[in-house]
Amino acid sequence: MPKQKSHRGAAKRVRRTATGKLMRSHAYHSHILSKKSRKRKRRLRSGAEVAHSDAKVLRHMLGRAV
């Protein structure tokens, strides 16, 4: 039986930390930045932890890839 492939779309959007948490980037930071405040853009730069309810599904999608 062949190996299961990881979901490549999910693998490109999520990374795993050393402790095993899944980190994602924030949305709304790619264009139309002139109307957003400096503080808001600065906060969007940093990553965020994936919600606990989504983490189980993502781990299944990623397998051992991330």
Write down how long the chain is.
66
Taking only the tens place, the pLDDT of each residue in 12-64 is 999 999 999 999 999 999 999 999 999 999 999 999 999 999 999 999 999 87
CB 20 within 8 A of CB 14: no
User: What pLDDT is attached to residue 63?
Assistant: 86
User: What pLDDT is attached to residue 65?
Assistant: 66
CA-CA-CA-CA torsion sign (36, 39, 42, 48): negative
Q: What is the phi/psi pair of residue 48, to 5°?
A: -140, 150
User: What pLDDT is attached to residue 54?
Assistant: 95
Fold of 8-62: Factor Xa Inhibitor (4.10.410)
Strand partners, 49: 23
Q: How many CA atoms lie within 13 A of 36 on its CB side?
A: 14
